[in-house]
Amino acid sequence: MTTADELVTRTAGLLAAHDPATTDPLEFLRARFDAGLAWVHFPPGLGGLGAPRALQAVVDAELAAAGAPDNDPRRIGIGLGMAAPTILRYGTEEQKRRFLRPLWTGEEVWCQLFSEPGAGSDLAALATRAVRDGDGPDAGWTVDGQKVWTSSAHLARWAILLARTDPDVPKHQGISYFVCDMTDPGVDVRPLRQLTGEAEFNEVFLTGVRIPDAHRLGAVGEGWQIAQTTLNNERVAIGGQRTPREGGLIGILAETWRRHPELRTHELHQRLLQGWTDAEVLRLMGERLRQQLAVGQPGPEGAAAKLAFARLAQELTGLEVELLAEDGLGYGDWTMSRPELVDFTGRDAGYRYLRAKGNSIEGGSSEILRNIIAERVLGLPAEPRSDKDVPWKESAR
């Protein structure tokens, strides 16, 4: 098994062969991937060494100390956190070798075509259709439908896509999972302006988009099971990020508190203390979740982390606005823009307050996550579902 000392030695070899001060950043990232130092827990040849996941921190620390470039993980978060683990688990060897390297280096941005106007919380009700055409090497699928709330669709080269391939079976059984080329002429990306004034989300119309059968992940009809890998990883990516003590939103709020003693009240102080405690609990929950990730695939526990993150973000941003009183009502630039990143820290309190409202929807609504926790973590009886055994084409929509 690879040890920390071996990783330090391997990292030193990478730095000696590719001096970060003189090497093009993209060339360095490609070399890092090829050296197995991209994500060390991935298999050899796919950016890793089959090492324990926890040892990634050793590599990252050595490279950061040397001033090496990173792959801008926030910009390519959907690819890193959702597409990559799904491709690794269900993709063919050809798919893994085609997609994982440019995904990790940031050369190809990914997005997620899951939710639809009539299938958000009830994702299995999705209506986008994929109809098979052709045989043999020319086999493929023609896709028609509409997706919504798609982050980074205006930047993406590829998308992970769920589409219905069999309307004659119950809704969870007739779904398949594809990789969609976002440069196909049948893909129409339109911005959705949000409460913040920005359009980081999009709606995507798919008209006669042809996807080769070679870009299908897993077997036909197994899309729902495969999607659970994506969704569990998505919730971990949103709610289980590594944050230092008093980092993130609680750090911003605490700093505001320290700068404005004239605005303090006993009631606000008690709420700040409760928020700090909740933030620390969430931080420790994230550490435990990453320990579980190090020994296997994420489970429904990620739903609890994401649910707690959404609630806490809204409470902390609301408290910040209250603490600042009339100054908390100010809002910066309302100009329509299509940002590459969601930046909570570089904006004013008004922006943070408005943007946090979306945290209880993205990555699975809080209501649905409570059902997941109740049924899969606590073992409570499942909610009655009248359409469980009804063919999709006969179900009410």
- Domain of 252, CATH number, reads 1.20.140.10
Please give the residue range of the domain that contains residue 347. Answer: 227-377
In a domain, 128, yes or no: no
Q: Are 237 and 82 in contact (CB under 8 A)?
A: yes
Of 54, 70, 86, which residue sits at a domain end?
Answer: 70
Structural domain contains residue 1 = yes
Residue 155, domain member (yes or no): no
- The helix-helix angle for 25-34 and 4-17 (nearest 10°) equals 140
pLDDT value at residue 63 = 98
Check 62, 116, 203, 234 and give the catalytic one: 234
**Total domains, the chain:** 2
Supply angle C-alpha 136, 142, 148, rounded to 5: 140
**Spatial CA neighbour of 331 closest among 347, 317, 315:** 347
Whether 6 is catalytic: no
Residue 195: Cβ-neighbour burial (10 angstroms; 0-12, 13-18, 19+): exposed
154, part of any domain: no
Global pTM? 0.87
pLDDT tens for the chain, 397 residues long, are 789 999 999 999 999 999 999 999 999 999 999 999 999 999 999 999 999 988 999 999 999 999 999 999 989 999 999 999 999 999 999 999 999 999 999 999 999 999 999 887 789 999 999 999 988 888 999 999 999 999 999 999 999 999 999 999 999 999 999 999 999 999 999 999 888 888 888 999 999 999 999 999 999 999 999 998 898 777 666 655 667 788 889 999 999 999 988 888 999 999 999 999 999 998 888 777 767 666 666 666 677 888 888 999 999 999 999 999 888 887 776 677 777 767 677 788 988 999 899 888 877 788 888 888 888 788 899 888 777 788 988 887 7
Q: Is 54 a domain residue? A: yes
- The contacts of residue 43 (CB under 8 Å, 6+ apart) are 50, 88
Residue 23 is predicted with a pLDDT of 98
The residue count of the chain comes to 397
289, 302 in Cβ contact below 8 A?
A: yes
Q: Given this model, what pLDDT does residue 100 score? A: 98
